[in-house]
Every structure is written in C-alpha cells, then in structure tokens.
Amino acid sequence: RKEVEQDPGPFNVPEGATVAFNCTYSNSASQSFFWYRQDCRKEPKLLMSVYSSGNEDGRFTAQLNRASQYISLLIRDSKLSDSATYLCVVILYRGGFKTIFGAGTRLFVKA
Amino acid sequence: DGGITQSPKYLFRKEGQNVTLSCEQNLNHDAMYWYRQDPGQGLRLIYYSQIVNDFQKGDIAEGYSVSREKKESFPLTVTSAQKNPTAFYLCASSSQQGDNSPLHFGNGTRLTVT
C-alpha cells in the first residue's frame, strides 16, 4: 500500500463547478500536510498548507481528518486556469522528517 | 527575487555519457533535494543534503551522484550506470531538513538519453 494515495482522475468539470479531491495517508506519524499544484511539464508549486482546523484561501478550502487519515481540497467556482495536477504531500517523522508525495489528481476545467 | 534555478531546461545525451544537472538557490536554505518524475508517476527522491559537505541517498540513488561544496549549489550527475535516465529532474530546497517546512522547487530539467 502506498503511503500517500490519491485518485488519479482525471476529473472533468465545467467552469463554475465545485470539485473536491481526497487524499489518504497510511502513517499516523504524519505531521504536516500540503497541497501542491503542478501544471503540465512544469515544477510543482505550493498551493496551500493544511491545518487541523481547516483553512481557506479564496476559492480553495483544505481540510484534515486525522482520525480517518485523509486530507481534502475543495475548489469552488472552477476556472479554466485551475486545470492542473494537484499533489497531496505529507511530511512524517520517521527517524527524521521525510516528505512523501502522492502521484497527483488531474483536473480539467472546460468552458 | 529569491529562488531556485535549474539549468539547462532541456538536455539531450547519448547513452553511456555522464551528464551533470545544475541547481542553485539564493533562498539561504540549508536543505536541498533532487527528485525524479516519470510520466504519470509521483516524485521519487534521489539524494538530499542537509548541510554543506553532507548528503544522503534517497529512495533511488543508484546511478546518480551529488556534491554539496557550497550552500547555494547541489549539482546532480546522472552516470552511465543509471539504467533509465530519461526523466524530468526537479531540484528543491527547504529551510531546514530537520523541520517540517514545505519544499520549494526549481523549474526542472528534462533529460533525454538516446
């Protein structure tokens, strides 16, 4: 079983739609959580951190459920420019901090 | 502006040749990393370095070598021993390996070996 698992998608949604991605992690020693965005043939860029209380940044909302070991990303009012791959990232402590990347969920927003 | 610079953006080599990918950062970050990304797959860690003159193997270090002679620089050499070197290589840095701060990436080098 992978340490961080994401639905690869693709998710195909119309402009203006609300879309949600989930990510599960297997190691309860996971300490920090992030969502990254990666455009085609580009580097990943930090989208937002994920806090236990949940956090929002404009149209993006991130949630963490430690009991069930998953994090989520909600995108409201999708824009064409939101089309990208979204990577779930977990930092866990295992004799030192280690960053684990999910394989990503692809999103296509269409006009 | 502070950032991480990788060069070149595209690199083509013949099989059997060693090639060195450059990574420079001016973020004053202590920790630097090299990842490899293959189509449709997640990032895999090749090597990382917490401080100057120290580096550790990641999950897929075979066929690669690194050096960390300066804080700002962490070059990666892809040797002829690497069986499948064609990939997208990403360099990253974080403020400190010993904490849980997120990684910041360079814009990547796409290596093609024929």
pLDDT for B1: 64
Mean pLDDT of B71-98: 91
Among A56, A60, A53, A88, smallest CA distance to A74 is for A60
Give residue A52's pLDDT: 86
Vertex A54 angle, CA A51 and A58, to 5°: 110
Per-residue pLDDT band at B48 (split at 50, 70, 90) = very high
Which amino acid, one-letter code, is at A58?
Answer: G
> What is the Cα–Cα distance from A62 to B72, expressed in whole angstroms?
33
Q: What is the pLDDT of residues B66-78, one digit of tens each?
A: 999 999 999 999 9
What is the Cα–Cα distance from B33 to A4, expressed in whole angstroms? 19
The yes-or-no verdict on residue B97 having pLDDT over 90 is no
Q: What is the pLDDT of residue B96?
A: 64
- Return the SS3 of B73: strand
pLDDT (0 to 100) of residue A107: 97
Residue type, position B84, single letter: N
User: Helix, strand, or coil here: B37?
Assistant: strand
Where residue A27 falls among pLDDT bands split at 50, 70, 90? confident
Q: A41–B97: do the CB atoms touch at under 8 Å? A: no
**Separation CA B4–CA B68 (nearest Å):** 15
Check if the beta carbon of residue B43 is closer than 8 Å to that of residue B90: yes
| Reported confidence tier of residue B99, pLDDT bands at 50, 70, 90 | low
Interface with chain B: mutation pick from A42, A47, A101, highest number of B CBs within 10 Å: A101
Q: Which residue of B has its CA nearest to A86?
A: B42
pLDDT digits (tens, 9 = 90+) for B7-47: 999 999 999 999 999 999 999 999 999 999 998 788 999 99
DSSP string, chain A: --SEEE----EEEETT--EEEEEEE--TTEEEEEEEEE-TTS-EEEEEEE-TT-EEETTEEEEEETTTTEEEEEE-S--GGG-EEEEEEEEEESSSEEEEE---EEEEEE-
From the CA of B80, how many Å to the nearest CA of chain A? 25
Nearest CA in chain B to A48: B102
Mean pLDDT, residues A8-37? 94
- How far apart CA B13 and CA A25 sit, in angstroms, is 38
Share of chain B above pLDDT 70, in %: 96
pLDDT of residue B84: 93
pLDDT tens-digit map of A79-99: 999 999 999 999 988 777 788
Return the exposure string of A1-33: e unless at least 16 CB atoms fall within 10 Å of the residue's CB, then b.
Answer: eebbbbeeeebebeeeeebebbbbbeeeebebb
Could you tell me which residues come within 8 angstroms of residue A64 by beta carbon, excluding any fewer than 6 positions away?
A: A33, A50, A51, A52, A54, A71
Identity of the residue numbered B113: V
pLDDT of residue B42: 85
Report the share of chain B in percent with pLDDT over 90: 83
Cβ-based contacts of A104 with chain B (< 8 Å):
42
